[in-house]
Structure 1
Amino acid sequence: MDIAEAVEGVRSGPTGPTVGVFFDFDDTIVHGSSTLSIEDGQSDTEIAESARRHFAKKLAGFLYPEVWQLIRAHEAAGHTIVIASPVPQFRIAPVADALGIEHVLSTRPDTTATVREFAAERNLDLPSSYGYSHSDRELLAVVGTGVAVNPVDARNRFVVFRERGRAKPREVFRTAAGLAGFFGGVAAGGVEGLRVRDRRRSVDGMISHAGDFALKFAKIDVAVTGAHNAESPRPAVFIFNHQSELDLIVLAKVLRHGFTGITKKELATSPLFGPLLRFAGATFVDRSNTTKAKEALAPVVSTLRGGLSVVIAPEGTRSLTPTLGPFKKGAFHIAIQAEVPIIPVVIRNAGELYWKNAKTARAGRVDVAVLDPIYVSNWTLDELDERVEQVRELFAQTLSHWPES
């Protein structure tokens, strides 16, 4: 079965915390082995930090995106989610934290005994529970619904996850083609604007052409739901969930014209995005200095009142997994002061095709849902934390239950 069938099976199955969900680790949550070398004499703190760095720099790129979809489906059903694996706990911990999984079991030496003991402690109903593993038949046999992940021989129920992480020659070629398309689009759009001596038209042409050409040559399709919300009302503060530098190119294709961005100051020196962002009038924010960040955002209110929309990622930085980070309040303060609506732009799959530390992009499709505008004229500062959390939950719900196109 494919991932959509697996998720639907979870949604239509039993609910509640007495249903356990047991994930193996290697070749189940991550593609391949999560091996990490530890030096003799390292303290627990040093080992944990090494594991965290290993996850951020490498292992996150080998996470199966389908696992995240399954986890969210099981969470929505109220299930008790567990990673049960012979892999040492320090190697699993950063992944469990990133995926929001509270329980980690070391199943050495006996998987069945460990899982049964945990189930007894938590009053879990194993016949109603789920297990996912590439090769641990004991884990799959101890639960009512055992699902093999990419099995060598598919004797029983199984699901196929798509490998990512290792760059293939064709991906290197497509990434180079995408970069060429990006710069070609920038040049084509710039020439258009210069011909009529209109800076704004030049910026809009550069943005839209760069998005179109880069995605076309990289073999990345964009499917948009709610495209009418990208056009009207404007000006607006467009907020998006941030997993990948690919997000910026996708936004260029979806929004196309009449906007500028608020981004981290490091992008000002990016050879890919820096020159275009500066020419487009982007605001660069020092995230390490709250006072300077607020000062930098002050002129953005005037930008909005002048008719230009603004794009900002309320998470503040790219995430290593599809899990949403906390939302900062800057975008919402700006919208309130400028008296313009907030329009959520929910992006799915961008991190799968081009994760945070990737060197190459994969071909595929990015889904985008442009949600209905949120009007903030009646919001008060006292309720802002609650309102922001409601918007974040709207993103989470959209990612879990994608709207029909």
Structure 2
Amino acid sequence: MKIFAHISWLFATIVIFASLALMILTFYFLPKPYSRKLSAWIIRLSTLFHVDVEGEEDPKAQMFLLNHQSDLDIAIMETISRRDLAWVAKKELFDIPFFGLSLKLAKDIAVERESKTSLIKLVRDAKHVLDNNRVITMFPEGTRSTKEKMLPFKSGAKMVADKYKLCVQPVILMQTSKYYNVKNLYYKPGRIKVIFLDSFIADKSDKDWLNNLREKMQRTYDNELANNPSHR
């Protein structure tokens, strides 16, 4: 079974990189953001995973905040939203072949960890994204967590949302590392559930809203895990 899972992972990984290459080749020929959407749909269809959506995307949302477990997460979000998403990612990811170029072409936002200067740049870049009617899309944990507990949320999301009084919508991805896990070289097709929570307007007078949001997202995740055996 492990050998089959590793072979499946290799196939899924080849599909992901081939789709990124297609996105790069078609970027200047297709209207934004369709080259990225096309790439994401190829990944989703070729790797045979189905997405169930609970709740509704707020068409007025200016920022999506997602938990992060797997490299599938970006493709999932791109296929369930028609919006032009501007991803916030670690600066070092922009240097990875294919993946980094796809981020640069789409003019996504690069941030450096633990850099105050980078946070200032994040706020400035976010304004440019908003002016172009794109949706800031972030993993506030800052990195993948393959466990069932979300990592502490980084302050960058709150800084940007507070600055521009953004309409923020939390999005929960259930157990995506169960289907594609880079560390374990593991992949299997399946049904992935996405939960859209209610959106809200960021209020900088509430200093704890980001921490409270993490707790709310974790409670929703835990309840879904407890009440839906298919996630286990």
TM range (shorter): 0.7 to 0.9
1:329: how far off? 2.1
The answer to whether the 8 Å contact 1:243/1:320 transfers is yes
1:192: how far off? 4.4
The answer to whether the 8 Å contact 1:260/1:309 transfers is yes
> Is structure 2 residue 31 aligned with structure 1 residue 183?
no
Aligned equivalents of 1:165, 1:344: Cα separation in 2? 37
The corresponding residue for 2:75 is: 249
1:223: how far off? 1.5
The corresponding residue for 2:167 is: 341
- Superposition map of 1:100-119 within 5 A: none
1:241: how far off? 0.4
Alignment length, in residue pairs? 225
> How does the TM-score come out when normalised to structure 1?
0.51
Task: Output the aligned Cα RMSD.
Answer: 2.5
5+ residue gaps, structure 1: 1-162, 194-200
> Is structure 2 residue 204 aligned with structure 1 residue 380?
yes
The answer to whether the 8 Å contact 1:320/1:356 transfers is no
The corresponding residue for 1:31 is: none
> Is structure 2 residue 35 aligned with structure 1 residue 216?
no
The answer to whether the 8 Å contact 1:181/1:213 transfers is yes
Aligned equivalents of 2:6, 2:185: Cα separation in 1? 11
Aligned equivalents of 1:171, 1:213: Cα separation in 2? 16
Q: What does the per-residue CA deviation read over 1:110-130, in whole Å, with 9 as the maximum and x for residues that have no partner?
A: xxxxxxxxxxxxxxxxxxxxx
Aligned equivalents of 1:391, 1:335: Cα separation in 2? 13
> How does the TM-score come out when normalised to structure 2?
0.85
The corresponding residue for 2:93 is: 267
Aligned equivalents of 1:165, 1:287: Cα separation in 2? 36
The corresponding residue for 2:157 is: 331
1:297: how far off? 0.8
The answer to whether the 8 Å contact 2:6/2:185 transfers is no
Aligned equivalents of 1:242, 1:326: Cα separation in 2? 12
The corresponding residue for 1:370 is: 196
Aligned equivalents of 2:12, 2:161: Cα separation in 1? 38
One-letter code aligned to 1:287: R
The answer to whether the 8 Å contact 1:241/1:324 transfers is yes
Q: 1:393 to 1:177 in 2, by over 3 A?
A: same
Q: 1:228 to 1:365 in 2, by over 3 A?
A: same
Instruction: Between the two structures, name the one with larger relative contact order (CA 8 Å, sep ≥ 6).
Output: 2
Name which of 233, 237, 244 aligns with 2:60.
233
> Is structure 2 residue 213 aligned with structure 1 residue 391?
yes
Aligned equivalents of 1:181, 1:338: Cα separation in 2? 34
Q: 1:165 to 1:318 in 2, by over 3 A?
A: farther
The corresponding residue for 2:121 is: 296
Q: 1:366 to 1:272 in 2, by over 3 A?
A: farther
Counterpart secondary structure, 2:120 = helix
Aligned equivalents of 2:20, 2:92: Cα separation in 1? 20
1:362: how far off? 2.1
Q: 1:336 to 1:355 in 2, by over 3 A?
A: same
Aligned equivalents of 2:219, 2:117: Cα separation in 1? 33
1:296: how far off? 2.0
The corresponding residue for 2:35 is: 206
Name which of 154, 158, 179 aligns with 1:353.
179
One-letter code aligned to 2:37: S
5+ residue gaps, structure 2: 228-232
Identity among equivalent pairs (%):
23
The answer to whether the 8 Å contact 1:192/1:205 transfers is no
1:191: how far off? 5.8
Counterpart secondary structure, 1:402 = helix
The answer to whether the 8 Å contact 1:220/1:366 transfers is yes
